[in-house]
Amino acid sequence: MKPLRNVVILDLSKVFAGPFCSQQLSDLGAKVIKIEPIDTGDDTRTWEPKREGQSSPFLAFNRNKRSLAVDIKSPEGLDIIHTLTKQADVVIQSFKASTAKKLQIDYNSLSALNEKLIYCEITGYGSGGPLSDLPGYDVMLQAFAGIISTIGEPDGPHTRVSYAAVDLGTGMFGASSILAALLERSQSGNGVHVELSLLDTAISLMSYLAQNYLTTGEPPRKTGWANTAIVPYQAFRAADGDIMVGVGNDSQWQQMCRAFNREEWINDPRLKTNADRVRNYFVTAELVQEELFKESISCWLERLGNAGIPCAPIYSFDETVAHPHTVARGQIVNTNHPTLGDLPLVGFPAMFNNEPRSVESPPPLHGQHSIEILEEAGYSTGAIMELIERNLVYQGDSAS
């Protein structure tokens, strides 16, 4: 099912947040035209690791798109963008507000060309405020928004979330906001201006930790494995490795006590309720650790699983992908890349009507579709060749 099959998106964004946003919409059927600079393309095309010259970070966020490489700083390139804007339903861009205005791709400029346009801008710090023109990268916003201050052991060094959580969160909020804007347009007939920033996303992702502060006045700090909400809820050492265990309520705690043959813990005043266990975190964690160390991971997965206790092995990603359940879910999908051949990708997480996940087209080569996009936009063959000869458009080495 491709519910967005009639939606055309002009994607002027780069790196992770914007491309992830447009990729989600392309997975839902939207026709995405990816605008890239003519020199090296999207920044991520130069990032490591690579295979046969193709960047893995680029491959992760750009399937189901066509690439048009154009110099948007030239009058001719801007004319192309304006022409495509008139034919688009959605524009996504991730330039700083001042840069977008200078390039004449800001909301006022583009919405004047298409009154029904859904315009989505993604910036680091937002279009208003004293920091609005600062460049925004995921890790900077993790730091600024207080995320990094909560990660790690209390007396340990700072560290970051291992993946680009703020970028990806912004992409997800962007996709859902664009869907809402499309629904609004279907009802009112009017275009919508959507604004997102990495900072706003980062603060939003603090979620219940942020609310804890707003409720108590105590800012969240690094606590290591100690959890201020539920205990036990962490990794423990079994006889042959580590296992993750989470007890979400007192009933599950009682079941764990029985699985340990430690029924006396059920009415222990230090451990009886979740509030007791939170207050006595170190005692609780030590007692649970002593029991789990007595048996293997596989033993505990079976025993605790049968008792209804949430638990999981701590896999490396290669183990995750190879697991029979992951294989059965079919979230690793394959496509045929022009230079790499068979290419596995992480598929869209949602399924519709039990249809198997699939990829319509692989991530594009740089400028691969420049000619066909311009032809569809109404440019003559002569005009397109002149743009290519003047280095205002790049057609790519393997243009289709």
Distance of CA 120 to the CA centre of its chain: 16
Structure tokens at 339: 């230079």
Distance CA 58, CA 287 (A): 47
Catalytic (active site) residue 167: yes
Strands (E), the chain: 8-12, 31-36, 50-51, 54-55, 65-70, 90-93, 118-123, 192-197, 233-238, 241-246, 311-313, 332-337, 341-346, 393-394
Q: What is the largest CA-CA distance in the chain?
A: 85
Distance CA 89, CA 373 (A): 16
C-alpha distances (whole Å) from 13 to each of 21, 136, 334, 348 are: 9, 13, 25, 20
Structure tokens at 400: 């289709």
The conformational region for residue 348 under phi > 0 = left, psi -120 to 50 = alpha, else beta, is beta
HSE of 389, CA atoms in CB hemisphere, 13 A: 6
Q: Which backbone phi and psi does 203 adopt, to 5 degrees?
A: -65, -40
Q: What is the DSSP string of 140-159?
A: HHHHHTTSGGGSS-TTSPP-
CB-CB contact of 267 with 273 (8 Å): no
- Which of these is catalytic: 11, 27, 138, 167? 167
Active site residues: 167
